[in-house]
Amino acid sequence: MTISVERPAVSEAVLVSRVLRHLSKLGRVVRWGVELNGHGSAHIDVCAYIGGEVIGIEAKLYDWRRAIGQAALNRYTVDRSYIAVEPRRATAEVAELAARYGVGVLCVGEDSLVVYQEAKLLSPDPRLRDRTFGRLKTGRRA
Amino acid sequence: MIKHFLAYGNSDQVSFRSDLVRECFDVMTVPGTIAAYYQDATAAFVLSSEIPYLIDPRTPLFQGRIESPKPSHVSLAEWHGEHVLRLVTAAVDGHDSYLSPSDFDDPGVLRDMVDRIVHEQTAYADRAPGVENKIDRYRRLLAEARGSSHVESAFRPAAPIGVVAPYFAVTSTLDPWWSVNRRVWDYCVESHANDLAVMPVVTVGDVSVLDQALAEVPADLGLDVLFWVTGFDERRAVGQDLDALWSTVRSASNRGVRLANMYGGYFSILLARAGLAAFGNGLTYSESRAWPALAATGAAPARYYVPALHLFLTPALAQALLDLAPTLGCECRVCRDESGRSRSVVALTYHELKEHFAAARQWERVFVDTSSVAEMELQLVDAARIVEGVRDRLPPRSNVSTLHLDTWARVLGRCA
């Protein structure tokens, strides 16, 4: 009998670095691991300032439900909130659940980053949003 | 009303200057590690605060194998006498070091430990003349925090409200360490009867042995007894253990003992109905404490206490829940703006989260003090029902547990 075990194509850190690399090519300000007051000790995996908007991205290889949960809670801090998944994880099921919380889906491959589903424009808490923006501006890591 | 002991931590100084916080508790408990290591600063802060206080010697830090002691542990070891200090110093030097019950077969070792611990506490106010400048500074900061530039000239540093005897954790009263505790208490009765009230700490690994352990505390020691059930988490505890705790507290209270649970939360407040006199925790932390993991310390994480659920959540998750179920919102002075509208939980600062916790805890105490058992049960069941009504709209994988609410309601129904 052969037991097939699904192996990750990349590690989560690689997924995050790919997001950073792709966004950096766009010339945007990007930080990794920005502390989010609202989450207590948790961090947003990637934070970016693109087109005048603060963007938060949670990257996950497997537990995309958890990623959506975390991204949904980023709504108090960022203007748009995304999850980043490998191309094979970007499915209608993921997009549907993400959409319920206004969360967008980024499909991240080695050579590409595609917006699989656009995130809803949120109304973050102004103070938290400004603080995150300030960190992006200064490049200060939390 | 049940008394609230609030633990002091270095990151809590601002909170302890807040009038709102100061109105919400009765006694400040100072960890021995902090008192011994930051000697001058802690003495100056504690004495200048003019808050009734106790110092916890945290003896179990040295119980059994002594591994990788921190500098604060070395300082506290000095308070525990020469033998303990020698063992801790040896551990610092990389030697295998072990404090065992048989070390106290030498009465001199036990007496030295007790005398030192008692002395450090009874003489605590005598530190004031050596730290006058710091006391002046802290008194100025306190006056400023209270909106005054004037510092009263009259100042009398106070002694702690009692002396906490050194103590060791036990698995049962058959544990060899229990005999050491007994000898510590006997010696306290014999030699320190004229000092401040000596408070024993009964530290057990299981709630099922607490009753017998408490019954063996000598009555001559006084009526104030502290207890700690290591690793006992009121929210995770099964009904049977909560029933046992209720019955234990009630029976001790019936004997006239004023029991204080060193680490507890809302269930301990409910235990006021069984006769619990006091309970302790930190500002947003330490509602339970494991042992031997006592060495774990650090600033509390930023989290929001949802008073209706008697539960901590991350601020973002709390806000997500309150967005869906506003009736679970808090009415305290921190959570409402000047016009009475709810403030955003995620916008609260670290200090405000602590202030809110203090106010919420006070609300819980007043609620239990002024409500019928039926009202308390209803509050718990209602809050759980409200969460269930919105659970499927919370973000995926959100951990908002309400099991403890139903469990506590059932315990109230059975025991109160």
Q: Specify the amino acid at residue B136.
A: D
What's the token pair of residue B52?
């009734």
Compute the distance between CA of residue B109 and CA of residue B82 in angstroms, rounded to an integer: 8
**To probe the interface with A, which of B346, B391, B393 has the most A CB atoms within 10 Å?**
B346
Q: How far is B273 from chain A (nearest CA, A)?
A: 34
ipTM at complex level = 0.84
The reported pLDDT for the residue numbered B298 is 64
Q: B43 by DSSP, 3-state: which? A: helix
3-state secondary structure of B224: strand
CATH topology of domain A12-116+125-137: Trna Endonuclease; Chain: A, domain 1 (3.40.1350)
* A77: nearest CA partner in chain B: B346
Give all domains of chain B, ordered by start, each with its CATH number. Answer: 3-295 (3.20.20), 304-415 (no CATH)
Place of tokens 């990389």: B94
Taking Cα atoms as reference points, which of B189, B114, B124 lies closest to residue B160?
B124
CB < 8 Å to A72, chain B? 320, 395-396
CA distance B185 to B192: 10
In what order do the strands lie in the sheet containing A104-108?
A: A29-35, A43-50, A53-59, A80-85, A104-108, A113-117
Helical spans, DSSP H, in B289-336: 315-324
Element (H, E) at B198: strand B198-199
User: Among A34, A35, A36, A39, which would you mutate to test the B interface (most chain B Cβ atoms within 10 Å of its Cβ)?
Assistant: A39
Q: What phi and psi, each to the nearest 5 degrees, are found at residue B305? A: -90, 120
Nearest CA in chain A to B399: A69
Chain A residues whose beta carbon lies within 8 Å of the beta carbon of residue B301: 40-41
Q: Dihedral (C-alpha) B330, B335, B337, B341: value to the nearest 10 degrees?
A: -30
What are the pLDDT tens digits along chain A (142 aa)?
Answer: 445 445 555 688 888 888 888 887 775 666 666 555 544 545 788 888 888 899 999 999 889 999 999 999 999 999 999 999 999 989 999 999 999 999 999 999 988 999 999 999 999 999 888 888 887 777 655 4
Note the Cα B39 to chain centre separation in Å. 20
Report the pLDDT value the prediction gives residue B273, as an integer from 0 to 100.
97
Closest CA to B351 of B281, B266, B284: B284
- A76/chain B closest Cα distance in angstroms: 7
Beta carbons of B319 and A38 less than 8 Å apart? yes
User: What is chain B's pLDDT, residue by residue, as a tens digit (416 residues)?
Assistant: 999 999 999 889 999 999 999 999 999 999 999 999 999 999 999 999 999 999 999 999 999 999 889 999 999 999 999 999 999 999 999 999 999 999 999 999 999 999 999 999 999 999 999 999 999 999 999 999 988 878 877 788 999 999 999 999 999 999 999 999 999 999 999 887 776 789 999 999 999 999 999 999 998 888 899 999 999 999 999 999 999 999 999 999 999 999 999 999 999 999 999 999 999 999 988 899 998 765 555 677 789 999 999 999 999 999 999 999 999 999 999 999 888 899 999 989 999 999 999 999 999 999 999 999 999 999 999 999 999 999 999 999 999 999 999 999 999 999 98
CA torsion B371→B376→B379→B384, rounded to 10°?
170
Other Cβ atoms less than 10 A from the Cβ of A110: the count is 12
**B373-390 helix and B403-415 helix, angle to the nearest 10 degrees:** 160
Q: Contact B260/B275 with Cβ under 8 angstroms?
A: no
Question: What is the nearest CA distance from A6 to chain B, expressed in angstroms?
Answer: 23
User: Smallest CA–CA separation between B291 and chain A, in Å?
Assistant: 24
